[in-house]
Amino acid sequence: MLQINYIRENKAAVIEGLTKKYFADAEQIVNEIIETDQIRRDTQHNLDLMLADANSKAKAIGDLMKAGKKEEAEKEKAAATELRSKTKELQDLHTIKEEELNALLVKLPNLPHHSVPAGRTAEENINIYSHGEVPTLHADAQPHWELIKKYDIIDFELGNKITGAGFPVYKGKGARLQRALINFFLDEAGKSGYTEVQPPIMVNEASAYATGQLPDKDGQMYYANEDKFYLIPTAEVPITNIYRDMIIREEDLPIKNTGYTPCFRREAGSWGADVRGLNRLHQFDKVELVQIATPETSYAILEEMKKHVQGLLEKLELPYRILHLCAGDMSFTSALTFDFEVYSAAQKRWLEVSSVSNFEAYQANRLKLRYKVDGKTQLLHTLNGSALALPRIVASILENNQTPEGIRIPKALQAYTGFDLIK
């Protein structure tokens, strides 16, 4: 959530940023916010004065009672009652205005960082880096949804039976490959100084709200009605929420956490040819990086996280490219996002396997995540990135590394899989 003080003082920049993100009616909503805020502040000022008055009256009555002047106290009570009832009206108005203001603020997405390219759709993202050769496959090469059947390593039919579409069963070397990737990613994160955590994979409403999934993505998360818990769409939610309502000591920054969790996404409204096989699932595995940093360091840290993800993809010997997302294609809460895409040779498609973002103070404002500088409390910056999401990595390993003898496992993974070929 954007800070009201910032909006008040930087109205033009806010409208400009929102417009860059193709947010509809930016100017109108910002104006409405500023007006509502003004009424809220005026109301509070008047209310505070009145309450101060009422408090001193109450105190005076107390003193009279103590002094034994009962009758005088009784006389004062009538005036005090009157005053109190007047404060109620202002109190109600203040509450209403505060709620209105909050409802408006929650609607606003984060502002794009100044370096974010203009553009509305994925076509306008900018490819800032490419690495690795796109492999040329032999004539009868197959897409991964055929390969998994051929080698009997991932079973969608079985998942259908047990749960439904998008919940595959990993079997044998397929299951082993999953576990190898998870361990590999966690170990690599550990080497880069991240502390491993295992968070809950269901979160309460306050957590889903704090990282911005609610109210924006309500309906995209699975919901356990009876207990009002959401199944996490990413480990970002529980891990970042570890630090909700906290004031961090500056010397403890930056905070670096990593965690493996399954992720659950309803993916309502997305279907079609490009969601075949492992390309889009309702449940998938992911290792996530989360960092909490000062505003001065957050962009350097974003670079560091980008480097980390590059390192992973290079060790896995996968051709990849990095996209600097254009303003219109960024998520609601992000100020700057790099997407990593891996080439999946048989599908002849680039698949998104990681998204690394700086949220600046947007999440921190909802999280109430702060630190102290020179005695003043200030919001921190939050960042996160996938390192990595498994299914599409698996898809591209299967497709890119297929040989007549079987599927070759990247060297870096062999110590984790315990085999070098799926045949």
Does 61 bind RNA (CB under 7 A)? Our answer is yes
Task: Tell me how crowded residue 130 is: count the other CB atoms within 10 A of its CB.
Answer: 12
Nearer to RNA among residue 94 and residue 144 (C-beta): 94
Residue 44 CB, shortest distance to RNA, in Å, is 5
Does 58 bind RNA (CB under 7 A)? Our answer is yes
Residue 173: closest CA among 403, 397, 400, 347: 397
Instruction: Please identify which residue in 34, 65, 197, 253 interacts with RNA, judged by CB under 7 A.
Output: 65
Instruction: Please identify which residue in 131, 307, 372, 423 interacts with RNA, judged by CB under 7 A.
Output: 372
Nearer to RNA among residue 356 and residue 369 (C-beta): 369
SS3 227: coil
Name the segment binding RNA (CB under 7 A); options: 38-46, 116-124, 284-292, 397-405. Answer: 38-46
Cis before 112 (ω within 30): no
Instruction: Please identify which residue in 9, 48, 99, 303 interacts with RNA, judged by CB under 7 A.
Output: 48
Residue 31 CB, shortest distance to RNA, in Å, is 17
The burial of 147, by beta-carbon neighbours within 10 Å (0-12 exposed, 13-18 middle, 19 or more buried), is given as buried
Does 54 bind RNA (CB under 7 A)? Our answer is yes
Instruction: Please identify which residue in 22, 27, 35, 51 interacts with RNA, judged by CB under 7 A.
Output: 51
Q: Which residue has the tokens 């996209």?
A: 323
Does 44 bind RNA (CB under 7 A)? Our answer is yes
Does 52 bind RNA (CB under 7 A)? Our answer is yes
Show contacts with RNA in window 208-247 (CB under 7 A).
Answer: 247
Name the segment binding RNA (CB under 7 A); options: 53-61, 182-190, 271-279, 380-388. Answer: 53-61
Does 67 bind RNA (CB under 7 A)? Our answer is no
SS3 letters across 277-318: HHHCCCEEEEEEEEEEECCCCHHHHHHHHHHHHHHHHHHCCC
Nearer to RNA among residue 3 and residue 183 (C-beta): 3
Beta strands in 15-153 (DSSP E): 126-131
Task: Say which amino acid occupies 174.
Answer: G
Does 55 bind RNA (CB under 7 A)? Our answer is yes
Measure the CA–CA gap between 361 and 257, rounded to whole angstroms. Answer: 18
Instruction: Please identify which residue in 41, 217, 244, 276 interacts with RNA, judged by CB under 7 A.
Output: 41
Nearer to RNA among residue 77 and residue 266 (C-beta): 77
Task: Say which amino acid occupies 237.
Answer: V
Both tokens of residue 128? Answer: 């800032």
Does 150 bind RNA (CB under 7 A)? Our answer is no
SS3 218: coil
Measure the CA–CA gap between 57 and 65, rounded to whole angstroms. Answer: 12
Binding mask 304-333 toward RNA (x if CB under 7 A, else -) reads ------------------------------
Both tokens of residue 88? Answer: 């109620």
Does 200 bind RNA (CB under 7 A)? Our answer is no
SS3 344: strand
CB 116 within 8 A of CB 328: no
Measure the CA–CA gap between 171 and 152, rounded to whole angstroms. Answer: 7
Cα–Cα–Cα angle for 95, 98, 100, nearest 5°? 110
Residue 258 CB, shortest distance to RNA, in Å, is 24
Measure the CA–CA gap between 50 and 87, rounded to whole angstroms. Answer: 7
Does 206 bind RNA (CB under 7 A)? Our answer is no
Q: Summarize as ranges the residues that interact with RNA (CB under 7 A).
A: 4-5, 37, 41, 44-45, 47-49, 51-52, 54-59, 61-62, 65-66, 77, 80-81, 84, 95, 247, 370, 372, 377
